Amino acid sequence: MTVVHIPNSTMLSSYARCFMTEQQEKEAKGARGFGSDDSSRTAKGTVAPVEDSSSVKAGQNITTPQLEDYCNDFTADIKNKLATLTLSHETYSEALENREVYLKHPPVFSHKLEIDAPITNQKNSGRCWIFAGLNMLRQHMMKEYNLDELELSQPFVFFHDKLEKSNWFLENILKTLDEDLDGRVVQLLLAGPVQDGGQWDMFVALVDKYGVVPKEAYLETVHTADSEQMDWLITTKLREYAKEIRTEHANGKSIDELRKMKDRMLREIHKVISVSLGQPPKTIDWSFYSKDKKFHEFRNVTPLEFYKNHVKQDCTKFVSLINDPRNEYMKKYTVDYLGNVYGAESVHYINLSVQRLKDYAIRVLKSGRPVWFGCDVGKFLSRSHGMMDTEVIDYESAFDFGFGMTKAERLQYGDSTITHAMVLTGVHIEDGKPVRWRVENSWGESVGNKGYLTMTDRWFDEFVYQIVLEKSDLPKEVLDVLGQEAVVLPPWDLMLGVFGK
């Protein structure tokens, strides 16, 4: 396979930032701007460069005359005083919210899924990719079993993800025994062995191996709702294990002896997860009332049987499509060292234009099915109105400048990446073109329109990077790309790695 090194790239990472911590909330509210998808056009409001009229010479250091010149320039404009009075008491997203945007885009859609499933809440964790995956799967079940509500257990998938990621990490430590400890790869592995984030193919690997259960069969705990302490404990132990393995390798122990050590280490990690979350069930009883008040019951069902016989959707038949304008379209990509389940299918993507992603997503939504997707959620987001639009936060009015980078440039310079996974459940089309999209989020009902967001089509162009569709929904020329040898991107390519906000 060909390894392509793209410095400072940020697109292919995991959704490890799917939840909003206080710091991430600040970053989201101060999110930077947008350009174009496939061209070099600049964003609306960009100020063209002009000659410096200042008499102060710019040099390596900030000088006193230089700073005085800045201050004089600032105070000369009375609008800056008004902006200071306002923004010293309110956040950017609150004070600069452009009401014209959400008035123009009400939460009404020409094409919407028949079922409105109850909004879920990942709380203070980075499990968005798991929530989005299970939220997508439950739509078919709710229709088949005539249900008003259904939630599948995210903690069940989360438990197995933590254990599998621990094994994945230790296997990669074994794989890199002869590499420099201070090298970029080993240090990247040590940086976040079991962060909460993930990718679609990682979700597939988990449900295909372990199955799925209803939420009532395996409930949330303190450490699923807020995973920070458990993640810290597991991460600290894994780094300790990595040190032990590398030390014993240097002392001459064989790979078989090191793997025996790994078994003992995984047993300890399993204990941590089991104490924190409880052991997952081996069999379940599923009973419920359908909307016509009829009672249904299925007894002594294993999680894999539940997945195969009741969920009835084979996730291995889905494919991940990305829009990464840095790289060539109609090519297959993967990321070195990215995954969670050892021995599972590798994480891979087909790179397409954003227009293709939208065309295929519209077709699926019109057929009555949801679409899992990944985006940079913090950019130009109004949480109170549940609106994602490139002009919903009016930075130009406050600061007299716009934003000029294209989608590709934002990825190259670290200004954007996939941060969050959600589910498309509708689209509004006018004159044959999409205008806005309906989004099912997993931040609870307090955000947006009772948990749903509205995403304008121009925001889709700039900040949506990934959708997942069934292979049967794609034309032959796209499916043929799956037969290509994948271009392998380096593990520090954050665009196509794991994410979770």
User: For the chain, how many residues are written?
Assistant: 501
128 is catalytic: yes
What are the tokens at 420? Answer: 């969050």
Among all chains, which residue has been given the structure tokens 């990077």?
Answer: 465
**8 Å CB contact between 429 and 112:** no
Rounded Cα distance between 279 and 303, Å, is: 13
Closest CA to 249 of 257, 239, 238, 240: 257
Q: What's the Rg (C-alpha) of the chain? A: 24
CB atoms within 10 A of CB 375: 27
**8 Å CB contact between 258 and 248:** yes
Helix (H) / strand (E) element for 467: namely: strand 464-470
Torsional sign, CA 187, 190, 191, 196:
positive
Residues 6+ apart with CB under 8 A from 199: 14, 15, 129, 320, 338, 347, 496, 497, 498, 499
Cα–Cα separations (whole angstroms), residue 386 to 29, 42, 102, 206, 469 = 13, 26, 9, 31, 25
**8 Å CB contact between 213 and 152:** yes
Catalytic residue among 121, 327, 441, 449: 441
Query: How, if at all, do strands 318-322 and 464-470 pair?
Result: antiparallel
441 is catalytic: yes
Amino acid type, 342? Y
Q: How far apart are the first and last CA of the chain?
A: 31
Catalytic residue among 348, 420, 428, 449: 420
Among all chains, which residue has been given the structure tokens 């990215």?
Answer: 338
Catalytic residue among 128, 135, 160, 172: 128
Catalytic residue positions? 128, 420, 441
